[in-house]
A and B are shown apart, each in its own frame.
Chain A
Amino acid sequence: MITVTNLTKSFGDKVAVDDLSFTVREGAVTGFLGPNGSGKSTTMRLMLGLDRPSSGSVLINGKPFHDANWPLREVGALLEASSIHPGRSAYNHLRSLAAANGIPKSRVDEVLYTVGLTEPAKKLAGGFSLGMGQRLGIAAALLGDPEVLLFDEPVNGLDPEGIVWVRTFLRSLAAEGRTVFVSSHLMAEMAMTADYLVVIGHGKLKADTTVEQFIAQYTTEKVKVMSPELDRLADLLTSGGHQLVKVDDALFIEETPSALIGELAAQHGIVLHELSPQLASLEEAFMELTSDDVEFHGQSEPSK
C-alpha cells in the first residue's frame, strides 16, 4: 500500500504537485491519470525519494522509501525516459542493479525471459528501440520480485501487441496481491487496465474512485437520430421536455431511452434513418474534468 499525504512539490514558482492525498491499494491496479505536464512523473519520483517534496509525505507499506531495507525487493519502478546507460548491455545493467540489493544473478535471466529480451540482452542498451527500452525498464522493476510496483507510462512506444501484453501483465501482478500503480495520459487505456483511478490536473487531485464509478459518474448516454424530418422530430422531443443537440444532419438526445424515441416517431409517422444509443466517450469526460488544467491550450482557444 502507498499512502500519499498532502504531497506538494514546486520547481521555483511552478507548482508541479499540489497538495495531493490518496492511497494506492494492494491487490489492484490503480491508474494514475492526467494530461501531459499534470505532475504524474514528478509524483512518482517523489514516491521513490528521487525528488525532495516541498511538503507532505509518501509512505510505502508504512515507511518512507528511503528507509527500505531492500529497496528493489520492496518497490520496483519503471521510470519515465528509460534510466539506462546506452553504453552498457541490458544484461549488465540488470546485473549491477541486482548486485546492489543482493539479488542472485539467476533472477536477471528470469526477468529478461519474462519481458522477452533474452536474445538482445548482451547488446548495448543504446541500440534498443523505444519498446525494447520499456521492456528493459519493466524487467528492472520486476528484478526484486517486489510487492509494490510503479510504472510511469509503461505503454509509451510499445506496439499494439506490446500494449496488450503490458495490460495483461499488470493485471496478473495485481491478481497476485501486489500494489500496482501505473500512470497514463490516456483515459481509454486506463479504463481497460485499472480497477481504481486517481485523476490529477495541474498537480491537483480531480478524482479518486473506481473505474466503474468514474464511468457511471462522468458519462451520459445519448441517442443519435437521423431522419428526413429532423426538425419536426426535434420540436416534438423538446416540447416533451427532452434535452437534445443538433449536429449536422443528426439529433443527439440525452437521457432518453431509444425505444421511447422510436415509438414517438412511429406515432407521428416520422421516418427514421438511424436510431442508435451512444456512449459519450470516457476520453471526453476526462478532458472535461481536467480541461481547466491543460498546460498548453490549443490555438482555437480564444486568448484571455
Chain B
Amino acid sequence: MTTLPAPPTSKRQLPTGHYKFRHALGSEWIKFRTVRSTMWCLGTFSLIMIGFSALFCAVTVSQWGKRPEEALTFDPVTASLAGVTMGSLAIGVLGVLVVSSEYGTGSIKATFAAIPHRTTVLLAKAVVLSISVFIVAAISELIAFFLGQTILRSASGSQPIVINGVHLPAKPPTVTLSGPGVMTALVATALFLTLLSLLTLGLGFLIRHTAGAISAFVGLLFPLFLLVVLLPATFKDRLEKFLPLQIQQTVVASKPIVSATSLSIWAGVLAMAVYAVVALAIGAVLLTRRDA
C-alpha cells in the first residue's frame, strides 16, 4: 500500500505569548518620528516659543516706563514665555495629526491589522506624544526663559517712575530659575502643553478628518472663549476660568492673580487633565465601536 506524500505545511513556530504594549509603543515611536509633519509641528512650536518670547522681552525693554500701568503687573516669567499662546496651536495640530493623518491616508488599517486591540494603539500614541511634547516643551521653555531674562537684564534703565506714590523699578525685574514660582510656572506650562496635545489626540480619534479636528481644536481655544466672554457676568465669571486659553494664562505666571474668576495653577492643570482624559475616553469608546 502506498501513502500519498503529505501536503507541504507551513506550520511555523510562533514566539510564545503575544504582542505587548511595548511593541505598540515601538511601532508608534517609529511612525511618530518618520513623518515630516511631526518635525514641522515641534520645530514651529520651538521657534515660536523661543522667538516670540525673545521678541516680547525685547519690546518690553524698549518700552519700559512708557506704559507704567503695564509695568505694575509685569511678570518676568510670563514675559519670557510669551510665545506659549501661539506655540500651543502647533502642539494642538500635532496631536490631531498623529491620528487624522492615519485615517486620511488609510494607514490606520495597516496599523490595526498589526495591532487589532485598538485601545492599545490609542494608549501607545498617547504615551509617545505626551513624552515627546513634554520634553520639547520643557527644553524650549528653558531656552526661552534664559534668553528672555538675559534680554530683560540688558535694559539700560529709565528715570525712576512714580505713579500714585508707588515707585516702579527703573528696569524690568528679572528672576532666576530658583526664584519664587519660576519652576512651578515652567513645569505647569509644559504639563499644560502636554495635556493639550492629549486633548487634541482625543479629538483626532473622535473626528478623524484633519481639517475637521483642527477646526474643532481652534474653535475650542478661541470662539468658545469669545462666546463665554459675551455671556452675562454671573455665568462668565463662573465659566471663563475653565477655558483652556484662560488656564494657559494662569500657568505661565510666577505670580498668578488669585481671584474668584481664575483657577489656581494646579487646579488649571487638573482641569486640563480632566479634558484630556474625557476626550481620550470618548475617542476610545468610538474607536472600538466604529469601522476603521
Contact = CB atoms under 8 A, between A and B. Distances in A.
Contacts of A79: 106, 109-110, 113
B113 A50 contact: yes
B159 interface: no
Contacts of B114: 71-72, 97, 100-101
Interface string A47-59: 0111110000000
A147 B27 CA distance: 23
Most buried by A among B11, B34, B36, B115: B34
Given A83-B105, A87-B36, A65 B116 contact: yes
B185 interface: no
Contact of B8 (A27, A66, A68, A95): A27
A84 interface: yes
B90 to A, nearest CB: 17
A206 B11 CA distance: 32
Q: Which of B10, B14, B35 has the most CB of A within 10 A?
A: B10
Interface residues of B, number: 41
Interface in B57-102: 101-102
A69 B116 contact: no
Interface residues of A, number: 45
Nearest to B109: A83
A88 B31 contact: yes
Contact of A97 (B35, B105, B110): B110
A73 B23 CA distance: 14
B115 A71 contact: yes
A145 B15 CA distance: 13
A100 B37 contact: no
B112 A69 contact: no
Interface in B151-192: none
A170 to B, nearest CB: 14
A52 B10 contact: no
Contact of A66 (B35, B116, B291): B116
B24 interface: yes
Given A48-B113, A100-B115, A74 B14 contact: yes
A72 B14 CA distance: 11
A81 B106 contact: yes
Given A45-B291, A83-B110, A89-B34, A177 B105 contact: no
Nearest to B124: A100
B221 to A, nearest CB: 26
Given A85-B102, A87-B37, A140-B110, A50 B292 contact: yes
A102 interface: yes
Interface string B10-42: 111011011100011011101100111100000
Given A52-B289, A70-B19, A77 B113 contact: yes
B105 A69 contact: no
A87 B113 contact: no
Interface of A: 26-27, 45, 48-52, 65-66, 68-75, 77, 79, 81-89, 92-93, 95-97, 99-102, 140, 145, 147, 175-178
Interface of B: 7-12, 14-15, 17-19, 23-24, 26-28, 30-31, 34-37, 101-102, 105-117, 289-292
Given A77-B113, A140-B110, 8 more contacts: A45-B109, A48-B109, A69-B19, A82-B106, A84-B107, A87-B37, A97-B110, A101-B114
Closest 5 CB pairs of A and B: A69-B18, A100-B27, A100-B114, A92-B34, A99-B26
30 contacts: A27-B8, A48-B113, A50-B113, A52-B290, A52-B291, A68-B18, A70-B15, A70-B18, A71-B115, A72-B114, A73-B12, A79-B109, A79-B113, A83-B107, A84-B105, A84-B106, A88-B34, A89-B34, A93-B110, A96-B28, A96-B30, A99-B23, A99-B27, A100-B27, A100-B111, A101-B114, A147-B11, A177-B8, A177-B9, A177-B11
